[in-house]
Chains A and B, each alone.
Chain A
Amino acid sequence: MYAQLVDTGVKRVKGLDEMSPEERNFQEKIDAEIKIEPKNWMPDAYRRTLIRQMSQHAHSEIVGMLPEKNWLTRAPNFKRKLQLLAKIQDEAGHGLYLYSAMETLGADRDEEVAKLHSGEVKYSSIFNYPTQNWADMGTVGWLVDGAAIVNQVVLQRTSYGPYSRAMIRICKEESFHQRQGYQILLHMMRNGTEEQKAMVQDSINRLWWPALMMFGPHDSDSPNSAQSMQWKIKRMSNDDLRQRFIDQTIPQLELLGCTVPDPDLKWNEERGHYDFGEIDWSEFYAVLKGNGPCNRDRLRTRRNAIENGAWVREAARKHAEKHNKANAA
Chain B
Amino acid sequence: MSDWTLFEVFVRSKHGLNHKHVGSVHAADAAMALENARELYTRRSEGVSIWVVPSKQITASSPDEKEPLFDPADDKVYRHATFYDLPKEVGHM
Q: Please state if B29 and A323 are interface contacts (CB–CB under 8 Å).
A: yes
A319 at the interface (CB under 8 A from B): yes
How many of B's residues come within 8 Å of A, CB to CB?
A: 20
A190 at the interface (CB under 8 A from B): no
Q: Please state if B28 and A317 are interface contacts (CB–CB under 8 Å).
A: yes
Q: Please state if B28 and A316 are interface contacts (CB–CB under 8 Å).
A: yes
Residues of B within 8 A of A12 (CB): none
Partner of B1, one of A86, A109, A319: A109
Residues of B within 8 A of A86 (CB): 43
A79 at the interface (CB under 8 A from B): no
A93 at the interface (CB under 8 A from B): yes
Q: Please state if B32 and A108 are interface contacts (CB–CB under 8 Å).
A: no
Residues of B within 8 A of A313 (CB): 1, 4, 28
A39 at the interface (CB under 8 A from B): yes
| Cβ-closest chain A residue relative to B29 | A320
Interchain CA distance A223-B6 in the complex, whole Å:
37
Partner of A324, one of B4, B29, B32: B29
Q: Please state if A97 and B23 are interface contacts (CB–CB under 8 Å).
A: yes
| Interface of chain B residues 13 through 55 with chain A (CB within 8 A) | 23-26, 28-29, 31-32, 39-40, 43-44
| Cβ-closest chain A residue relative to B9 | A100
A-B contact pairs, 20 of them (CB 8 A): A37-B63, A39-B62, A40-B63, A93-B40, A93-B43, A96-B25, A96-B40, A100-B23, A100-B24, A100-B25, A101-B23, A103-B24, A108-B2, A109-B1, A110-B1, A313-B1, A316-B28, A316-B32, A323-B29, A323-B31
Residues of chain B having any CB pair with chain A under 8 Å: 1-4, 6, 23-26, 28-29, 31-32, 39-40, 43-44, 60, 62-63
| Cβ-closest chain B residue relative to A108 | B2
A89 at the interface (CB under 8 A from B): yes
Residues of A within 8 A of B6 (CB): 103
Would you give the shortest CB distance from A109 to chain B, in whole angstroms?
6
Q: Please state if B43 and A90 are interface contacts (CB–CB under 8 Å).
A: yes
Would you give the shortest CB distance from B69 to chain A, in whole angstroms?
14
The bracket for how many chain A residues form the interface is 20 to 34
Residues of B within 8 A of A37 (CB): 63
Q: Please state if A320 and B24 are interface contacts (CB–CB under 8 Å).
A: no
Interchain CA distance A100-B28 in the complex, whole Å:
16
Residues of A within 8 A of B44 (CB): 173
Q: Please state if A89 and B43 are interface contacts (CB–CB under 8 Å).
A: yes
Q: Please state if B23 and A320 are interface contacts (CB–CB under 8 Å).
A: no
Interchain CA distance A86-B39 in the complex, whole Å:
11
Residues of B within 8 A of A324 (CB): 29
Would you give the shortest CB distance from A188 to chain B, in whole angstroms?
27
Interchain CA distance A39-B25 in the complex, whole Å:
19
Interchain CA distance A109-B3 in the complex, whole Å:
11
Would you give the shortest CB distance from A170 to chain B, in whole angstroms?
12
Residues of B within 8 A of A40 (CB): 63
| Cβ-closest chain A residue relative to B21 | A165
Q: Please state if B3 and A317 are interface contacts (CB–CB under 8 Å).
A: yes
Most-contacted residue by chain B among A37, A86, A96, A101 (CB, 10 A): A96
Interchain CA distance A323-B28 in the complex, whole Å:
11
Residues of A within 8 A of B62 (CB): 39
| Interface of chain A residues 144 through 178 with chain B (CB within 8 A) | 166, 173
Contact with B along A25-53 (1 / 0, CB 8 A): 00000000000010110000000000000
Interchain CA distance A37-B32 in the complex, whole Å:
28
| Cβ-closest chain B residue relative to A315 | B28
Interchain CA distance A260-B3 in the complex, whole Å:
49
Residues of A within 8 A of B4 (CB): 313, 316-317
